[in-house]
């Protein structure tokens, strides 16, 4: 039978105060090949903020329910589903609809959370660290002895990229708020403040870097390209256009900078190349890489830092304060207790 389901709705594009509501709607039983999951944590990222502003590439039209990923407990199996039983812990990438108490989702997209991995870690790994893993190991193929630069090294994906690159034996540089520099240095990175451009001549002085990971976009793409090594194979891996959102700047289309960046990869005479990384749950690499990360947490090889957790009712505050405040790591929305 149908159940009441509280969920976030972006009713229109604009400020969080006017465009976000929590509503209750009826949720039907899971259809064939679907599983109904009670969500405990939803991941929260720049994608959610940009969707609320109507600026996320290829997004649904409003009204829509955001929430790019979740972790939770299986509630009910739909017809044809037997892989999981009620109470099993699972995580999944959704792109939409995770900011809700319940979700009906195709069984094939659910990934089991192994024993010893809590649901906060699972939610952080599902989008933030899975993105980092794909960029480090596939897009840039980072290896020992290389130099990498990360914009927003203290952020959710930035932290994942940093730790995964360090595990590969790379030297890591990046930008971060000065309040986080001591912790970043202790972890093994070399941070610069993002309020000036001192990192540009510093990177050129050491011969450039082999990979830049850039979630900022716009003018930052050109700056990232400028610090690549001129003599060795090197790459800019772009994965966002968050500069305007983070600086409260004027909204503008990300497409021209993205196309301009990708065009640089056509310079066949150059050792430098570019790519734009996107993550999708249908990619054949997604589930194996997420399972690898879950296994690394289970073994104690990695631990995803959590910067802040908001309660479901504080969704407007989450949108208004994303990217601000002390701490490093991923953001989560607590939908329900995970006990």
> What does the pLDDT look like over 175-199, one tens digit per residue?
999 999 999 999 999 999 988 999 9
Q: What are phi and psi of 281, to 5 degrees?
A: -70, -15
- Is 134 inside a domain boundary? yes
Report, in angstroms and rounded to the nearest whole number, the Rg of the chain calculated over CA atoms.
20
Q: Which residue has 């979630």 as its token pair?
A: 215
> pLDDT at position 337, please?
80
CATH number of the domain within which 142 lies = 3.40.50.720
228 lies in the same domain as 186: yes
3 pLDDT higher than 90: yes
Q: Is 277 helix (H, G, I), strand (E, B) or coil?
A: coil
Assess whether pLDDT exceeds 80 at residue 113: yes
Q: Is residue 94 domain-resident?
A: yes
| pLDDT score, position 83 | 97
Q: How confident is the model at residue 219 (pLDDT cuts 50, 70, 90)?
A: confident
| pLDDT score, position 250 | 63
Which of 259, 276, 293 is the last residue in one of the domains? 276
Q: Which two tokens stand for residue 179?
A: 């309040």
Q: How many residues does the chain have?
A: 339
Q: Which residues pair with 150 in a beta bridge?
A: 174, 213
Question: Domain ends where: 258, 276, 294?
Answer: 276
Q: Which residues contact 233 (CB under 8 A, 6 or more apart)?
A: 210, 271, 273
Residues 182 and 132 in one domain: yes
Q: How would residue 249 be classed by pLDDT, with cut points 50, 70 and 90? A: low
327 and 255 co-located in one domain: no
Q: What is the pLDDT of residues 14-63, one digit of tens each?
A: 999 999 999 999 999 999 999 999 999 999 998 999 899 998 888 899 99
> Is 286 a member of any domain?
no
What pLDDT, in 10s, does the model give residues 122-143? Answer: 999 999 999 999 999 999 999 9
Average pLDDT of span 262-278: 81
Q: Which two tokens stand for residue 231?
A: 């003599």
- Indicate if 185 and 98 belong to the same structural domain: no
Does 283 map to a domain? Answer: no
To the nearest 5 percent, what fractions of the chain are helix, strand and coil? 35, 25, 40
Mean pLDDT of the chain: 92
CATH code, domain carrying 28: 3.90.180.10
Same domain for 270 and 150, yes or no, is yes
Q: Has residue 114 got a pLDDT over 80?
A: yes
Q: Is residue 285 part of a domain?
A: no
Say if residues 128 and 35 touch (Cβ distance below 8 Å): no
As beta bridge partners, residue 111 has: 91
| Residue 241 exposed, middle or buried by CB count within 10 Å (0-12, 13-18, 19+) | buried
The answer on 142 and 108 residing in a single domain is no
The reply to whether 180 falls in a domain is yes
Q: What is the largest CA-CA distance in the chain?
A: 66
Q: Which domain holds residue 251?
A: 127-276
- In the chain, the number of structural domains is 2
Residue 38 lies in a domain: yes
Residue whose pair of structure tokens reads 């207790």 in the numeric block:
337
Average of per-residue pLDDT across 317-322: 94
* Count of beta carbons in the 10 Å neighbourhood of residue 261: 22
Q: Which residue did the predictor score with more confidence, 339 or 325? A: 325
What does the pLDDT average to over 205-234?
A: 91
* Segment holding 312, helix H or strand E: none
Return the number of other C-beta atoms located less than 10 Å from residue 339's C-beta: 5
Q: Is 101 in the same domain as 224?
A: no
Supply the pLDDT for residue 11: 95
14 located within any domain: yes
What pLDDT is recorded for position 218? 64
93 and 158 assigned to the same domain? no
pLDDT score recorded for residue 112? 98
CB 34 within 8 A of CB 3: no
pLDDT given for residue 246 in this prediction: 57
Are residues 58 and 89 located together in one domain of the fold?
A: yes
Query: Domain ends where: 260, 276, 292?
Result: 276
Q: Same structural domain for residues 190 and 105? A: no
**Strand-pair partners of 20:** 10
Do residues 170 and 105 both lie within one domain? no
Cβ proximity of 331 and 185 under 8 Å: no
Tell me if residue 18 falls in helix, strand or coil: helix
- Asked if residue 234 and residue 100 are part of one domain, the reply reads no
């Amino acid at each position: 039978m149908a159940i009441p389901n509280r969920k976030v709705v972006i009713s229109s594009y604009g400020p969080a105060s006017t465009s976000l509501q929590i509503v209750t709607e009826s949720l039907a039983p899971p259809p064939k090949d679907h599983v109904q999951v009670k969500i405990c944590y939803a991941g929260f990222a720049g994608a959610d903020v940009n969707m609320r502003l109507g600026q996320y590439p290829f997004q649904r039209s409003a009204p829509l329910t955001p929430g790019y990923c979740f972790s939770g407990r299986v509630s009910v199996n739909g017809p044809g589903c037997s892989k999981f039983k009620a109470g099993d812990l699972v995580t999944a990438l959704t792109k939409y609809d995770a900011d809700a108490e319940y979700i009906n989702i195709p069984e094939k997209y659910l990934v089991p959370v192994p024993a010893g991995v809590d649901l906060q870690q699972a939610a952080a790994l599902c989008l933030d660290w899975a993105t980092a893993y794909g960029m480090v190991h596939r897009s840039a193929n980072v290896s020992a002895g290389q130099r990498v630069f990360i914009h927003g090294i203290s952020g959710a994906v930035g932290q994942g990229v940093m730790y995964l690159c360090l595990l590969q034996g790379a030297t890591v540089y990046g930008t971060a708020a000065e309040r986080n520099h001591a912790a970043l240095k202790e972890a093994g990175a070399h941070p610069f403040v993002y309020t000036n451009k001192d990192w540009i001549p510093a990177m050129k002085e050491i011969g450039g870097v082999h990979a830049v990971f850039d979630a900022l976009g716009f003018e930052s793409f050109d700056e990232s390209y400028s610090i690549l090594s001129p003599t060795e194979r090197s790459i800019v891996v772009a994965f966002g256009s968050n500069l305007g959102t983070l600086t409260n700047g004027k909204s503008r289309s990300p497409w021209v900078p993205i196309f301009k960046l990708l065009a640089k990869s056509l310079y066949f005479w150059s050792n430098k190349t570019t790519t734009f990384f996107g993550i999708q749950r249908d990619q054949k690499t997604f589930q194996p890489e997420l399972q690898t990360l879950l296994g690394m947490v289970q073994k104690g090889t990695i631990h995803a830092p959590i910067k802040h957790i908001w309660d479901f009712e504080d969704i407007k505050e989450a949108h208004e304060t994303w990217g601000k405040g002390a701490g490093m790591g991923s953001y989560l929305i607590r939908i329900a207790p995970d006990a």
